[in-house]
Amino acid sequence: MPPIRDKFAIHSKAVVCQDVDLKGDITIGPGTVVHPKAAIFALVGPIVIGAGCIIEEAVIIVNRRKDIMRIGDNNLFEIGCRVECPSIGDFNTISTRARVHNTVRMTNHCVVGAQCLVVPAEDETLGEYTCIYGPAADRRIWSGRGQVQEADLRMKHAEYLREMLPKFNRLRRSDGT
Amino acid sequence: MWPNIQYYCPCLSSANALTPPPPILASSSASFHSLHNLYFCEECDAVRCNRCVSVEVSGYYCPNCLFEVPSASVRAEKNRCARNCFSCPICRATLSVVASDPPDDGTGRPITPLNNVGEGPYLLYCNYCRWDSTEVGITFEKPTGLAGTRWLVHFVSNAYIRVVAIDLSSTAQLQKYEDSAPESLEFERLKEHFEPFLRTSSLSSSTHLLPPTSHHLHTSSATAAASAALSRDIPGISKYNPLSRSRSGRDRTANKDEMAEYKSRVEVGLFGQLGSGGDDADVELLRCTETVGEIAKLEQRWGNSWITSLRMSELRPLRIPLHSKVSKRCPACRHILIKPEQKAQSVRYKIKLAAANYLPALSVGFPQTQAAKRALGKGVEPRNVGVMLAGITNNTFRVALTNPLYDPIQVRLSPQRVTDGRGFQVSLPLTPFSIGAFAEAWEYDDDEDMFGVEDDELGLEVGRGSRDKDARGRTKNVGVLERRANVTVVGGEVNVHRSYRGQVKFNMLVSYTYRSDDPLPSEDGAGTPSRAVVKTPEVKTFSFYTVVDLGPVLSKDDSESR
Ligand SMILES: [Zn+2]
Ligand SMILES: [Zn+2]
Ligand SMILES: [Zn+2]
Ligand SMILES: [Zn+2]
């Protein structure tokens, strides 16, 4: 395996803390917030993160595949979760200490509950509004009721973090600037 | 789990026998407890366990909203929170009250900025599995614990009404739904039927209260009341009395005259009308089921007060069950051993006589012996297979003793001998040894206090290891191995006969001598057999039994082959 070449493209409106572990070819979109102690590893293919995502402390995002790992907009990665999905749509929530394997693709509005393990042996795509919960990682389909309020809350959450995090953390900028 | 040490509470043994049962008996486990589960009665100078203490409820509260529910309303509210607290029927998480979504532009973004209050109708929403109450047709007009919610509560407690949409503004309508629940009606009818009998029987039983039959001399009034309640006559059921059969027959006829025959609301054959539709409907449902997911799991149903539907999609939110705070009393002298603070928010205790604050804490472990190392080298946790080897005379183990008292103590260990010659023998230092005083962490200014424990502080003979180091310079195994602060570590050995198989488990008497602030107690040694006055009046001795479990014995061949 050739050594990983670091190449970070961080949008000027993104908030990425200095104390973040980045490896490989990574693009971070506008308005996305990356907390300190998060780790984003593009081990083989690049990782492209969209707009308005929140990546909390101790989150690990790994791409082990050759293809680009695309993460859409307004996703929330809660503290300590580990995600290796080849693709993630919009408005998904991966809760605290959940783990999603690289066999899983996520569409939109999915929820992975706290500490849930989603590690199917075969490739699988989680349909829209799939909700995984409980110690046995049970699944159900969310009706979508409450999603407007949740989306609104997600955006306010990101907005607040973009305002507050720079007051207490040094920020990382793109390689070029 | 081994190795471990448990403490003995003598409450199960007959006639004040202080010796615990042989640990090889399976039933002995009921008499042994871990130290943190035990209490200590200062009055009786005795260990008390959760089995022998008497328990009193000191208050009820909702674990979610922490509202303290007066005991008078606990029964009326059917032991569940009557405020805004519900648990999710799917995943048991607490539900929150949320407003309905405003109209959106199709992308999930609201057209107008959201205000904080939101708009009705409101629904119960699970933040965890995303279930919401509109799935079972429950919505309501106001977000807080107003009359609407109140009615919802009643609705839920009789959760088998086959309605889809409820208009919560119409309380009269809900009242009707509630009253029409067949089980509820039947229950009310039964209560009505038995009411006069219960009233007369409580009158008659109060006139001739039975004398307390307990053997305990100091039976508490609470215990007495409870036993009186248990031995009270139940109308229609005569008390079992083998000597006077004719009398009981007369009782029965007398009761027959008093009690009218009860007629149930529905005929027995028509129970299918009740609740979810009865057995036939359940069978039908199971016949038509296509996936397991359609059927509610046992965990989702057993928290219900009444029968619920088998169908997952029909499960309803549950009011959260109340919790209680209890206090515990010594069974002999009625003094309180532990009592929580009244307020639900508080996790502190007003009184807490934990045994851990009186008795030295013992823990047992193994040094890194050859056997343990061998097991580890093979990737096997020694914990899972055993480290005691048969046919080896010096299987070593260690006991660490921690002193909770502010004064140094002298401890003497007396392991009980196993009578079977082909079993195992335990060697431990039999002479007393000292353990330093407990000190708060901030009292250690520098290192000197950590080590220089005065051995003869109590003026008693101090135990030395039975062999410090023998002539060939081998390190000692039996004796005091280590002393630091308020911890003393002693080593022991087990000689396991080569034919012995089974657990190395033995009882051990622990006696410790401590300096007491109390004046000498008067001569009432009968009630406190474990206490004896030693030498000077200020020094007292307390003894307690423990059971030490060192795990299973391995034969030598077993361990070699692994
Ligand atoms: Zn007991
Ligand atoms: Zn409550
Ligand atoms: Zn739920
Ligand atoms: Zn007592």
Q: If you compute the radius of gyration of chain B from its CA atoms, what whole number of angstroms results?
A: 33
User: Measured in angstroms, how far is the CA atom of residue B47 from the centroid of ligand 4?
Assistant: 9
* pLDDT for res B361: 95
Question: What is the distance in angstroms between the Cα of A81 and the nearest Cα belonging to chain B?
Answer: 16
User: Measured in angstroms, how far is the CA atom of residue B127 from the centroid of ligand 2?
Assistant: 17
* pLDDT for res A142: 94
* pLDDT for res B15: 62
Q: Are B448 and B396 in contact (CB under 8 A)?
A: no
Q: What are phi and psi of B458, to 5 degrees?
A: -90, 0
Helices B171-179, B147-157: axis angle to 10 degrees equals: 20
Domain A7-168, what fold? UDP N-Acetylglucosamine Acyltransferase; domain 1 (2.160.10)
* pLDDT for res A53: 96
Gap between the Cα atoms of B325 and B562, Å rounded: 51
* pLDDT for res B252: 47
In a domain, B20, yes or no: yes
- Closest chain B residue to A93 measured between Cα atoms? B128
Domain regions of chain A by residue span:
7-168
Distance of CA B148 to the CA centre of its chain: 38
A68, A55, A58: which is closest to A26 by C-alpha? A68
Burial class (CB in 10 A: 0-12, 13-18, 19+), A123: exposed
In a domain, B11, yes or no: yes
In a domain, B500, yes or no: yes
- What total number of domains does chain B contain? 1
Gap between the Cα atoms of A24 and A9, Å rounded: 11
Query: A116-140, pLDDT tens digit by residue?
Result: 999 999 999 999 999 999 998 999 9
Q: What average pLDDT does this structure show over A77-101?
A: 96
Q: Quick check: B130 and A131 CB within 8 A?
A: yes
Q: Are B43 and B333 in contact (CB under 8 A)?
A: yes
- Looking at the DSSP bridge assignments, the partners of residue B513 are B410, B541
* pLDDT for res B212: 39
A37, A19, A17: which is closest to A28 by C-alpha? A17
Helix (H) or strand (E) holding A159: helix A147-168
Q: In the numeric block, which tokens belong to residue A15? A: 């908030």
User: Measured in angstroms, how far is the CA atom of residue A61 from the centroid of ligand 2?
Assistant: 39
What single-letter DSSP state applies at residue B294?
G
Q: Are B494 and B426 in contact (CB under 8 A)?
A: yes
Query: Concatenated DSSP letters for B189-250?
Result: HHHHHHHHHHHHHHHHHHHTPPPP--S-TT--HHHHHHHHHHTSPBTTBPPP-TT-HHHHHH
Burial class (CB in 10 A: 0-12, 13-18, 19+), B285: middle
B298 three-state secondary structure: helix
Instruction: Print pLDDT tens along chain B (562 aa).
Output: 778 999 999 888 766 566 788 888 888 888 899 999 999 999 999 999 999 999 999 999 999 999 999 988 887 777 888 777 888 989 989 998 888 887 766 655 555 655 555 677 888 899 999 999 888 887 777 665 433 344 444 444 433 333 333 434 333 333 444 455 677 778 788 888 888 877 776 666 554 444 433 344 444 455 555 656 666 665 555 555 555 444 444 444 445 456 778 877 766 555 555 555 567 778 888 888 888 888 888 888 887 766 677 888 888 888 889 999 999 999 999 999 999 998 999 999 999 999 999 999 999 988 875 555 655 555 555 555 677 888 888 888 999 999 999 999 999 999 987 666 678 888 899 899 999 999 877 666 655 544 444 444 433 333 333 334 444 444 577 889 989 889 999 999 988 888 888 888 899 999 999 987 655 444 444 444 444 444 445 789 999 999 999 888 887 666 555 4
Q: What is the CATH number of the domain that holds B413?
A: 2.60.40.10
Pairwise pLDDT comparison (B260 vs A65), residue with the higher score: A65
Residue carrying the six token digits 């859409």? A72
B339: left (phi over 0), alpha (psi -120 to 50) or beta: beta
**What's the one-letter identity of residue B166?**
I
Q: Are B355 and B112 in contact (CB under 8 A)?
A: no
In a domain, B82, yes or no: no
What single-letter DSSP state applies at residue B268?
G
In a domain, B366, yes or no: yes
Residues 6+ apart with CB under 8 A from B119: B99, B100, B102
Domain residues for the domain of B498 are: 4-42+356-377+384-440+476-519+536-558
Question: How many residues in total does chain B contain?
Answer: 562
Gap between the Cα atoms of B9 and B16, Å rounded: 11
Burial class (CB in 10 A: 0-12, 13-18, 19+), A33: buried
Count CB atoms within 10 A of the CB of residue B419: 7
Q: Quick check: B101 and A148 CB within 8 A?
A: yes
Gap between the Cα atoms of B550 and B505, Å rounded: 6
Question: What is the distance in angstroms between the Cα of B293 and the nearest Cα belonging to chain A?
Answer: 9
Burial class (CB in 10 A: 0-12, 13-18, 19+), A26: buried
Q: Which residues of B touch A152 (CB under 8 A)?
A: 109-110, 114
Q: Are B409 and B359 in contact (CB under 8 A)?
A: no
- Looking at the DSSP bridge assignments, the partners of residue A49 are A28, A71
User: Measured in angstroms, how far is the CA atom of residue B322 from the centroid of ligand 2?
Assistant: 8
Residues 6+ apart with CB under 8 A from A20: A34, A35, A36, A37, A38, A39, A40, A172
Q: Quick check: B109 and A140 CB within 8 A?
A: no
B177 three-state secondary structure: helix
* pLDDT for res B519: 52
User: Measured in angstroms, how far is the CA atom of residue A30 from the centroid of ligand 4?
Assistant: 69
* pLDDT for res A163: 95
Ligand nearest to the CA of A140: 3
Contact map slice: A 89-148 vs B, CB within 8 A = 91, 109, 111, 113-114, 129, 131, 133-134, 138, 140, 142-143, 145-148
Count CB atoms within 10 A of the CB of residue B100: 18
Query: How much is the ipTM here?
Result: 0.87
Q: How far is CA A137 from CA A78, A134, B248, in A?
A: 17, 5, 59
